[in-house]
Structure 1
Amino acid sequence: MRKTRQPPTGLAVIVDAYSTGSCLPKEFGHFGIKCVHVQSSPDIPADFLAAFRVSDFQQRFVVAGPGGVDDIATELKRLAPIMCVVAGTETGVETAERLARLLHVPGNDPRTSRLRRDKYEMHERLRKAGLSALRQARCLTVGDALDWAGALRSWPVVVKPSASAGADGVRFCNGMPEVAAAVDAILGKRNKLGGINDAAVLQEKIAGQQFIVNAVSIGGRHYISEIWKDDKTAVPGASLICDREILLAPNSDLTRDLGRYTTACLDALGIAEGPSHTELFQTESGGLLLIETAARMQGTIDHEAVVEATGHSHVTLTVLRHADPAAFAELVGMSYARKNHLHCVTLSSTTSGILKENRCHERVPALKSFRSLIHAPEPGETVARTIDLFTNAGIAYLASDSKEDLERDYRLIRTWEANGELFILE
């Protein structure tokens, strides 16, 4: 058990402990803190089922009906004191914020939850706060979308659901027929988070370099835990898929600018407590523009690889903020460390089919800079054509003191993919 200034008391409530959220119970356990689980809806989205472990929790509650969150708060008050409520993934954000308010523990204001979930509301709030924001429209019909795209007169246009994640449903459209098809594929359909899309958001397409900024906040003060250069690859008929994320060294002019803009966005969006995951562009002219911010940890990560590289991770810092607030507060205002170079390489497939043989398990671990391989499919499973985060074919973490080793190993992975040597389909 880790030592804290004052031993923590009470239970941690985790809402939707899927994806990276599945790592939270173990980390809370290092502090002797037990966890209970709240499921924000009766059904767990299919893409999240594999990571959820019921055995990690003392008790489990499921939100059912309009009064479900209030009812669960009443039940939780009957347990040991509740020390915190944390969203494990995107689906849990709004429920976690409501529960935190009802249980009188730190959390973001549930009255402004939509600013942190709805892509359109997010950018409108930035605009009102005087921050750079994308030109955009919320469209409830295909006709609305065609009218706005025609008036914009700039192609391509980005079409996305108003409240999903992982590039789900995102399309780059180069003409009116593509806009109509993309919006029609969104409206009224169920998204990867289990919700029904009630609106499509159209935004201008920005050229530039994408970055990721992860942070954890306490009382409106923010600690930037990692900044990554986020390289993407365009996919026909979709948008961009992850190529690789490169952990940047702190204390450069670029990372300081990214950190300042990100914290201004967090303030504008009301993220005062807990983790946040921000994606943004540096435009070709050097300006910064938010893509989106989520009030939760980054999904689909090997957080132990990040701990080795920086001393912390989004998971460990989220827990530390609640388990030892004084220790966490000492980090605010400091820069994160980068002990070694770290790349997160997303594997992809250009075709769909049943996996006959996965050679990743043999080839990727043999690379000199290999750190870990996660979420790679097994023989007999379906491999989808990669069009978003949910359809990737695995993630490899490469770590080394040598940038040259990382670059060589990254290029080798891409060569294997291009030659069809990693995934043998039936």
Structure 2
Amino acid sequence: MVELNYQKPKGTADILPGESQLWEKVENIAEKTFREYGYRGIRTPIFEDYNVFARNVGDTSDIVEKQMYDFMDKGGRRLALRPEGTAGVVRSYVENKLFGPEYPKPYKVYYMGPMFRYERPQSGRQRQFTQIGCEALNSESPQIDVEVISEAIEFFHRLGIDNLKLAINSLGDNETRENYRKSLIEYLEPFYDELSEDSKSRLYKNPLRVLDSKDKNDKKIVENAPSILDSLNDYSLKYFNEVKSLLDELNISYEIDSNMVRGLDYYTHTIFEIMSDSDAFGGDYVTVCGGGRYNGLISQLGGPDEGGIGYGIGVERLLILIQKENPDIIPNDSPDIFFAAADKEGDNLAFTILDSIRKKGIFGEKNYQDRKLKSQIKEAFRVKAKYYAVIGKKEVESGEFQISKEGSSETKIIKINDFKDNPQKFLN
């Protein structure tokens, strides 16, 4: 036998049976929640034209500068594995002309799937990671902004996660951003020599990215930077005030973080982060959901000048949070009943019973390795079957068998045909 030493690539993970059930449950809760808010599923390619991300996510963002997996294909086209979900969804929206009069406004979609970023792997953060997200396209309304935030919070509540903090900010419209850009450059220029190399390169391209720097010295410098909220024009200020008022009406608590800019260049007006200070993250607030409005993105990709808003949730980090905050939600994937066969006749009967009850929604199992009866009963306990039954020639001839409840002395004598007709009646 040839010894192989293949291993998964760094920054990826195998989702094994036992883990995958929790993934599926989270996805099912997400789908149900989003559909109740009017969202429908969309699936876009895992790779796109490089410029879908480079021009729209922002060429000064960490994602494009450092983290994107891009490559030339055999036809000489430059492609990129998607590092986030929004740009590809908007590209699909524009290409398929989903902004036509026959489509609803806003056009609401959700997605779930793998994304790719080349960064240092750590707990809850991989190079291939899974993102759940929603987008509400072709709309500009404070009500939609607040609805999207409310939906995201409701999703967390349905997962049993309540220790959340909502932080919001406004980046205003293009006029606001341009005015703020000038005042921020004026503030940062005297500190130029003290800035990190990344912030130096971004100062004149996109100074708002300096506010998002992770460098400790940069963080100190921007502590006294002018607030973008002081630069909001009348329209942007009115818009942001209405968002805050609507959050108050829905009794959604929030904090204003005027230094929050998010990591992507396409955001305008409302941006937000939902954070948790769970012990799963050491008690410090960690962002578990982030998003915002992107009014210029649709037109940049060739569509009409319409707005949009969305958010993304990293599933790996979300699962860490669930396992700490609500472990009871983790599915118990044990058989409803396990059949142990005493002989060949019993084994054949067990096989046919299983086929019948599985078609009625019962999770049944048996042994397929022709093991001794004692070993089969041990296997029933090992897989934590709720009930188990021993079937042999005697049961075949009598047309009845006895089921035993795990962890109890309770037993029942059942007619085989009655059980096949209505197994749920006997497995409560």
What is the TM-score with the length of structure 2 in the denominator? 0.23
Larger CA Rg, structure 1 vs 2: 2
Quick check: which one's strand share is greater?
1
- Structure with bigger helix share is 2
